[in-house]
Every structure is written in structure tokens, then in C-alpha cells.
């Protein structure tokens, strides 16, 4: 049965229509990699549909743009009608483009070496495609390239891509290898600039090469080693304006491509397997040969699917089919990164751009920390304990070589994107939760040094001198003040746990610095200059972007709520629970957007913008007000209205799994408002049930009664068969195993849920 959903001008065809009906549905069957791949407007999702293993280095996926830009950074837009080729590395839901390394594109007939233009089918080597002849599932992607009548299928291992192309009889069979395919080139700071590149024919079934580039990541070296299942009879190479037939090598730094044309003897399939490494072509070869030893494409597909089934089976949910599709795809997206950047032999590129060896450990990168510390990393502390140790250890190693913890790290390279030092809550959370495999003293050293070292957008000495960030000395001052205060609280809690009581006192003092920017008169956090005076004029609706304004990708309304460590103090600053509730009401209902909205802000409910991270915890703050039921109302609304099993899912950039993690937690009924206090705040569950299968062999079960879109209000709760009246559960509640039961109804309950005491 073809499942079609009308989505404006688009139709969305589930791959379920193509996959054979299965007797027992596996979790992977609910994952739809097309979810989040198509923006209706703004920046929803920005997922890529191609295959990857969990946390894989290689993420092989179709690109629809010839030069990847921010819309979408994943390279694939569900609205597009042509595909330019299949590249081996991708970003999932970021706001800045990069990667898309080593593009391959099969064609037939006349050889074209230019990519063509997205909007012009028939231009260049790109091909039209139709979603009706396109399939994706974890570990597998296929599409019919209509201009060439080629079936393209993709699979992936940790370090290698696997392509299977089925060519039509008749015209010559070509494969383009485009090393010049990048994000937008140019002279701006984050524009792509290829420093050096090479394609080299080793023999008539083997090609290797590399490119070294600067872009969003300051420096990336990408080496590849490609083996072909059948010989090619000719190679054509392009160097800038030159096109050379029968060329075996091309080296340069501009516009380098190769085209091979295959011997057509026997069968119509051409398989290509491509190892990738950031170190050398030799390592790329070793990566490939370790992971794909033969030409059994289907076995690799099955193997990767099994890896995903194992990951997804850490959660077992009941709900509607759409809920399952959203939920398991959210898990899939949450486990798509951070990415392993270690070769199979342990080699990796450190933060100081030296080559090092990690032995048997894996080093990870793609740390979109301003986003992911909020819920994605807390999710990993429940479902990816071993990986969490790997993430923390990678961050601590980065600190060692780079001097401070990662801010936004990509392929081992600090990009200085966004603000704050949110590796700190990630590390603090992991240690506070006693996760194994972390050198706690080393980690604390990294956390403390990062908090004591002036660095880009973290002028700590100014922080200490003024007790806030003065806007005239450090732009984005209100956002940085609020987020640094929170990070400092995390350092303090870690210091206390490790009995560094002087540090504890010191950082707790800094953790309260947010109060220095609270303006009781306007009831906002506002910017001051170094003279201690408020910055005038003040318009709480006015958005900042990423510099030049006190707020980061948000306005004063959205940052008003950023005191996750001392919510009760925030309530106190505003007066009392009623005034706090009134202010929240105003936030969720005040729809004026008379000033220009930052493009990252979307998914509005009043001033609440679910499409960007500053809002993510805010609905849960109603728990601290006199109208706790409104948390349930808004959370249910967001879950039901802003997520869907469609390409338009996510209402804003997925941001490397943060938007997914919000759904995963919230759909189960809780969410970490403070991502480092081992507490999850109760919201409004939408699933029938959910089981978290823990590494320790236990499981934690959420069950709901009478849940529906209308029945979004908690009537009563039971934890482990006992009545439960708290607005939160703890990490211990979960990891000890147990059952949390919700009875839902369509009327708010008047019972007061008890909030936790915030640790000082």
C-alpha cells in the first residue's frame, strides 16, 4: 500500500510501501530517514536520508545542491527534484554547512564534468529523481536516477561507504568522482577553500585521493580509498578548465574531478566501496579493508541495520504508528552523532592539529554542545553509557591539546560556534551520575581550567571583574552571562562532589552572577556596559544573532528563563509563584514579532520558539509556578503539533539530535530542565508506554492511562506502585529500575506537585 500524505505541495511516500511486509516489526522498521529532510519554510530538520552506522565517521547520502548551504546543511532537501551525487560525510541538522566529502555520481552516455544547477534538471551530471522511486531505512538508501535509468543503492560501515549501481543496457556507464563538491566557497571566514586535492588511479579497479580544506571546520584532511567491483576501461580527469582523457592522476587545489567508464562485461551492477580517513590514504585503505572484506552489499546493509536495531532496542515504546515513527527516528537522529573520528588503527587528528594515536579507544567529534548539552547528552547518560565516557574522554583530550574544552568541535577542529562552555554540564552530568570509564580528576582539571581560562567569547577575567559580561567588552553579553553562570554552577557541583570545597564556594559565587543583569523594573535580564549602566534603549522583542547584540539567536523574552540551576531563585526574583506563572503566561501568549526575528527562531507559541534551543526547557518551568498544569498543556501541544512523521518534522534545525532528544524525553513524560542535576521534570507523556532498557540489566517503564491529545493533563501518578506527587523523577529512580504510571485526563488537576530542593 502506498502511504501518501498531502503536505502542501509535497507528497511524502513512506519507504514502508516498498519494504516487504515483515512478520515481526523491528524498531528499525519505524525509522524513516526522510523525517526532517524537507523544510516547509524556515529550517526544519536538516536531516540527511543516507546510511550511517550509529556515531559513524562515514555518512553516505545524496546531495541535492551543487554547493551546500544552510538550507539545508545536510545537503539533501526533500523538496528538490534532482540529485547531484552521493557524498560520504554529512551534518545532521546544523545551522552551518560543511563536509560532503568525495562525491560520487553514476551517469550514462556522454560525460559531463559540471554538476549542473539544482533548479535545472538536465544541467550538468545531476539527475532528476522521484520520491516514488526512493527508499531509505537505517543502513540503506536507494534511488532511481531518472535521467540515466540507474538504480543507486548506498550502505555504510563506520569508516566506509558502499555503493551499488545498477546500470541500464545500452549507453556507456560512467562514475563521476567530484573532490570539488563542498559547502559554499568564497572568501568569508567559514567559506570552503580547498587547499590541496588529488585523485589517483592505482589500477583499473582502484582509485585513491584526498582533499585538504578549510571551511567551517578550520582544517580538514579527507583521504579516500575506493575499490570498484569491475574494471574501468577509461578515466577522464578534469582540472579547472582542462579535461584530460586517459589520465591517471590529478593534483591541485581547484575544481578537480575524475570520471571512470566501466567495462560492461557480465551483469549490470557496479559496486564501489570507499574507505575514508582524516590521516592518510593508507589509513583509508586499512579502514575499508577492515570493514568491508568482500562485495556482499546486502550483508553490509543487514549488518548496519542490526547495529541500529540494537541501539533502538534500548527503548521499547507503544503508541500510534506515527508516534513510533517519530520516536525511533528521533533516536536514530540522536545517535547519528557525535562522530567517531578515529581510524581503525587508532590514528586521529587532535585539537592542535597534530596526528595522535588513541590505541583501542575511539575519539569523537561533531560536538554541537550549545544544543546537545540540554537533552541529547542527558539521553546518552541513560542509553549510551560507554559512548558518554568516550565523549567525555574526547573532550578532555581536546582540552589537553587545545587548552580548553570544546565549544563546537567538528572533525577535531574548534569552530567557535555559539557561546558558553557546555562541555562542562556534559562532563559534570556524567560524573555526577557516576558513569564508568571517566578519569574524574583529569576531567575536573579540564572543567576547572576551561572555567579559569579566558578564551574566545569567554573572557573569564572580565567575568570575574564585573560579575557579568559587559556588552561593550563582550557582545552577546546577557546570553553569555546566563549560560556561564549555569556552567559555573556545574563546576561548583562537581567540585563539591570531589571535595574541592574552596572551588565549590568560588564557583557557586560565580553561578549567581546572572542576578547582576536582572532588571526588576522591566522583569528581564538586560545588558549592562562596563560602566554598570543598563544599555538603552531596551526592546525585549528585539533579536540578537551571533554577535553585535546582547542576546544570542534570541530575544530578551526567550533568555528570561535561563537559570536552570536556580529556578526557585528566578521565581523569587520575579516575586512569587503567581507572578512567575503570569510571566510565563505572557511569554506563551504574547505574539508580537514586530522586530525582525532571528532565522533560527521558529515554532512559535507566543514568544516561545521551539525551533531553537533557548526555549527548550521553558514549558517545564510551569512546574515552579502556581499553575503547573500549563506545563502539561504546552508540552503536549508541542509534542503533538511540532513533530510529525514527515520531512517537515522538527520545526527547526535538529541541531545534532537535540530536537530529537527533546521529543524522546518529553514523549515519555519528563525532561532535564537542568541537564546536570540528575533530575528530570515531569511534563505530559503522549505515549501509551515506554520502556528504557538500561545497561545494568534493569529497565524503567512509563505507562499511561487515557492518554490522548485532549487528555494531556496528569490526573495522578504512581511510582513503583505507590502514589507519586512530585514534579520530577531522578536519575536514581530510572537506573534503579521501576515503573512510573500516569493517569491522564482532559481537565487540569488541582493537586500540587512537589518541586525538588535545588542544591546550593
Footprint on this chain of its own copies (rule: CB under 8 A): 187, 193, 195-196, 198, 200, 210, 212, 214, 218-219, 221, 223, 237, 239, 242, 244-253, 279-282, 352-355, 402-404, 413-414, 416, 453-456, 459, 461
Find the largest Cα–Cα distance for the chain.
81
Question: d(Cα 575, Cα 312) in Å, to the nearest integer?
Answer: 45
> Please, what is the minimum distance in Å from the beta carbon of residue 296 to its own copies?
31
Distance of CA 462 to the CA centre of its chain: 32
> Please, what is the minimum distance in Å from the beta carbon of residue 495 to its own copies?
20
Compute and round to an integer the Cα radius of gyration of the chain: 26
If DSSP codes are grouped into helix, strand and coil, which group holds residue 298?
A: helix
What are the φ and ψ backbone dihedral angles of 225, each rounded to 5 degrees? -140, 115
> Please, what is the minimum distance in Å from the beta carbon of residue 481 to its own copies?
17
> Please, what is the minimum distance in Å from the beta carbon of residue 548 to its own copies?
13
Residue with Cβ nearer its own copies (255 or 429): 255
Residue with Cβ nearer its own copies (248 or 718): 248
> Please, what is the minimum distance in Å from the beta carbon of residue 210 to its own copies?
6
Q: Which residue has the cell 545498477?
A: 166
Closest CA to 410 of 44, 43, 99: 99
Cα separation values, 652 from 95, 503, 644, 758, Å: 10, 38, 13, 31
Residue with Cβ nearer its own copies (304 or 476): 476
Question: d(Cα 659, Cα 505) in Å, to the nearest integer?
Answer: 34
Question: d(Cα 490, Cα 424) in Å, to the nearest integer?
Answer: 7
Residue 284, C-alpha cell as written in the block? 583509508
Return all residues near 67 (Cβ < 8 A) that are at least 6 apart.
Answer: 181, 182, 183, 184, 185, 192
Question: d(Cα 154, Cα 427) in Å, to the nearest integer?
Answer: 36
> Please, what is the minimum distance in Å from the beta carbon of residue 462 to its own copies?
8
Contact 59, 50 (CB under 8 A): yes
Residue with Cβ nearer its own copies (480 or 649): 480
Angle between helices 440-452 and 477-497 (to 10 degrees): 150
Residue with Cβ nearer its own copies (467 or 581): 467
> Please, what is the minimum distance in Å from the beta carbon of residue 242 to its own copies?
6
Cα separation values, 433 from 293, 430, 538, Å: 40, 5, 41
Instruction: Report the relative pairing of strands 355-357 and 728-730 from DSSP bridges.
Output: unpaired
What are the φ and ψ backbone dihedral angles of 717, each rounded to 5 degrees? -135, 150
> Please, what is the minimum distance in Å from the beta carbon of residue 19 to its own copies?
42
> Please, what is the minimum distance in Å from the beta carbon of residue 545 to its own copies?
19
> Please, what is the minimum distance in Å from the beta carbon of residue 13 to its own copies?
44
> Please, what is the minimum distance in Å from the beta carbon of residue 515 to its own copies?
25
Residue with Cβ nearer its own copies (229 or 529): 529
Closest CA to 527 of 593, 481, 466: 481
Instruction: Report the relative pairing of strands 699-705 and 738-745 from DSSP bridges.
Output: parallel
Query: How far does the chain reach from its first CA to its final CA, in angstroms?
Result: 58
Residue with Cβ nearer its own copies (242 or 641): 242
Secondary structure (H, E, C), 696-710 = CCCEEEEEEECCCCC
Burial grade of 650 (CB within 10 A; 0-12, 13-18, 19 or more):
buried
Residue with Cβ nearer its own copies (399 or 565): 399
Residue with Cβ nearer its own copies (4 or 465): 465
Contact 108, 126 (CB under 8 A): no
> Please, what is the minimum distance in Å from the beta carbon of residue 70 to its own copies?
21
Question: d(Cα 365, Cα 361) in Å, to the nearest integer?
Answer: 13
Question: d(Cα 165, Cα 4) in Å, to the nearest integer?
Answer: 27
Residue with Cβ nearer its own copies (475 or 600): 475
Residue with Cβ nearer its own copies (212 or 597): 212
> Please, what is the minimum distance in Å from the beta carbon of residue 696 to its own copies?
39
Closest CA to 367 of 328, 393, 348: 393
Question: d(Cα 256, Cα 177) in Å, to the nearest integer?
Answer: 9
Burial grade of 757 (CB within 10 A; 0-12, 13-18, 19 or more):
exposed
> Please, what is the minimum distance in Å from the beta carbon of residue 356 to its own copies?
9
> Please, what is the minimum distance in Å from the beta carbon of residue 504 to its own copies?
23
Question: d(Cα 663, Cα 661) in Å, to the nearest integer?
Answer: 5
Residue with Cβ nearer its own copies (413 or 684): 413
Q: In sequence order, what DSSP letters do the residues of 250-284 get, joined into one string?
A: EEESSSEEEEEEE---SSSEEEEEEEEESS-HHHH
Instruction: Report the relative pairing of strands 85-87 and 10-13 from DSSP bridges.
Output: unpaired
Amino acid at each position: 500500500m502506498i502511504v501518501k500524505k498531502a503536505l502542501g505541495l509535497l507528497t511524502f511516500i513512506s519507504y514502508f510501501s516498498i519494504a516487504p511486509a515483515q512478520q515481526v516489526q523491528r524498531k528499525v522498521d519505524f525509522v524513516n530517514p526522510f523525517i526532517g529532510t524537507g523544510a516547509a519554510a524556515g529550517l526544519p530538520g536538516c536531516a540527511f536520508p543516507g546510511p550511517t552506522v550509529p556515531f559513524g565517521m562515514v555518512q553516505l547520502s545524496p546531495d541535492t545542491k551543487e554547493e551546500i548551504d544552510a538550507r539545508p546543511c545536510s545537503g539533501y532537501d526533500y523538496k528538490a527534484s534532482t540529485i547531484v551525487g552521493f557524498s560520504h560525510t554529512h551534518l545532521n541538522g546544523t545551522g552551518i554547512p560543511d563536509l560532503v566529502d568525495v562525491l560520487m555520481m553514476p551517469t550514462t552516455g556522454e560525460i559531463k564534468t559540471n554538476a549542473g544547477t539544482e533548479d535545472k534538471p538536465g544541467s550538468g551530471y545531476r539527475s532528476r529523481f522521484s520520491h516514488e522511486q526512493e527508499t531509505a531505512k537505517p543502513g540503506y538508501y536507494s534511488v532511481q536516477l531518472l535521467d540515466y535509468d540507474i538504480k543507486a543503492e548506498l550502505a555504510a560501515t563506520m569508516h566506509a561507504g558502499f555503493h551499488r549501481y545498477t546500470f541500464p543496457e545500452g549507453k556507456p556507464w560512467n562514475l563521476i568522482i567530484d573532490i570539488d563538491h563542498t559547502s559554499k566557497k568564497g572568501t568569508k571566514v567559514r567559506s570552503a577553500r580547498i587547499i590541496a586535492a588529488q585523485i589517483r588511479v592505482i589500477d583499473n579497479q582502484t582509485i585513491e585521493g584526498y582533499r585538504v580544506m578549510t571551511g567551517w571546520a578550520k582544517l580538514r584532511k579527507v583521504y579516500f580509498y575506493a575499490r570498484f567491483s569491475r574494471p574501468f576501461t577509461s578515466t577522464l580527469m578534469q582540472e579547472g578548465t582542462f579535461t584530460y582523457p586517459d589520465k591517471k592522476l590529478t593534483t591541485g587545489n581547484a575544481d578537480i574531478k575524475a570520471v571512470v567508464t566501466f567495462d560492461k562485461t557480465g551483469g549490470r551492477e557496479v559496486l564501489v566501496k570507499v574507505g575514508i580517513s582524516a590521516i592518510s590514504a593508507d589509513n583509508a585503505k586499512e579502514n575499508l579493508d577492515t570493514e568491508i572484506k568482500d562485495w556482499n552489499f546486502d550483508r553490509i546493509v543487514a549488518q548496519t541495520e542490526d547495529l541500529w536495531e540494537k541501539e533502538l532496542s534500548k527503548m521499547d515504546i507503544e503508541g500510534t504508528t506515527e508516534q513510533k515513527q517519530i520516536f525511533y527516528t528521533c533516536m536514530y537522529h540522536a545517535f547519528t552523532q557525535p562522530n567517531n573520528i578515529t581510524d581503525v588503527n587508532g590514528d586521529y587528528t587532535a585539537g592542535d592539529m597534530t596526528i595522535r594515536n588513541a590505541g583501542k579507544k575511539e575519539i569523537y567529534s561533531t560536538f554541537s554542545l550549545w544544543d546537545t548539552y540540554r537533552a541529547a547528552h542527558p539521553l546518552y547518560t541513560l542509553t549510551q553509557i560507554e559512548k558518554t565516557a568516550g565523549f567525555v574522554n574526547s573532550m578532555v583530550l581536546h582540552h589537553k591539546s587545545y587548552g580548553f574544552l570544546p565549544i563546537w568541535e567538528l572533525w577535531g577542529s574548534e569552530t567557535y560556534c555559539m557561546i558558553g562552555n557546555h562541555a562542562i554540564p556534559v562532563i559534570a552530568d556524567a560524573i555526577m551520575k557516576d558513569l564508568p570509564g571517566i578519569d574524574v580528576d583529569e576531567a575536573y582539571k579540564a572543567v576547572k581550567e576551561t572555567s579559569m581560562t579566558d578564551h574566545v567569547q569567554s573572557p573569564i577575567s572580565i567575568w570575574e571583574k564585573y560579575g557579568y559580561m559587559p556588552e561593550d567588552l563582550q557582545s552577546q553579553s546577557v546570553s553569555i552571562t546566563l549560560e556561564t553562570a549555569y556552567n559555573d554552577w556545574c563546576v561548583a557541583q562537581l567540585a563539591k562532589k570531589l571535595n574541592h570545597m574552596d572551588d565549590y564556594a568560588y564557583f557557586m559565587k560565580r553561578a549567581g552572577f546572572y542576578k547582576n543583569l536582572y532588571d526588576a523594573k522591566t522583569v528581564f535580564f538586560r545588558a549592562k556596559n562596563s560602566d554598570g549602566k543598563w544599555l538603552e534603549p531596551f526592546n525585549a522583542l528585539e533579536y540578537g544573532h551571533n554577535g553585535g547584540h546582547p542576546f544570542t539567536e534570541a530575544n530578551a523574552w526567550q533568555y528570561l528563563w535561563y537559570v536552570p540551576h536556580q529556578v526557585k531563585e528566578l521565581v523569587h526574583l520575579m516575586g512569587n509563584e503567581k507572578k512567575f506563572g503570569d510571566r510565563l503566561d505572557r511569554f506563551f501568549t504574547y505574539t508580537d514579532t514586530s522586530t525582525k526575528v532571528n532565522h533560527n527562531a521558529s515554532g512559535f507559541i507566543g514568544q516561545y520558539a521551539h525551533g531553537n534551543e533557548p526555549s527548550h526547557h521553558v514549558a517545564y518551568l510551569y512546574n515552579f509556578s502556581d499553575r503547573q498544569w500549563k506545563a502539561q498543556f504546552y508540552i503536549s501541544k508541542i509534542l503533538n503539533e511540532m513533530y510529525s512523521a514527515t520531512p517537515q518534522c522538527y520545526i527547526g534545525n535538529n541541531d545534532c539530535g537535540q530536537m530529537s532528544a527533546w521529543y524522546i524525553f518529553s514523549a515519555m513524560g519528563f525532561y532535564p530542565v537542568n541537564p546536570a542535576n540528575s533530575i528530570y521534570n515531569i511534563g505530559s507523556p503522549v505515549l501509551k508506554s515506554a520502556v528504557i532498557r538500561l545497561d545494568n540489566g534493569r529497565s524503567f517503564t512509563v505507562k499511561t492511562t487515557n492518554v490522548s491529545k485532549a487528555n494531556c493533563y496528569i490526573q495522578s501518578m504512581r511510582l513503583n506502585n505507590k502514589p507519586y506527587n512530585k514534579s520530577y523523577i531522578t536519575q536514581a529512580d530510572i537506573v534503579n529500575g521501576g515503573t512510573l504510571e500516569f493517569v491522564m485526563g482532559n481537565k487540569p488537576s488541582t493537586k500540587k506537585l512537589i518541586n525538588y530542593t535545588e542544591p546550593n
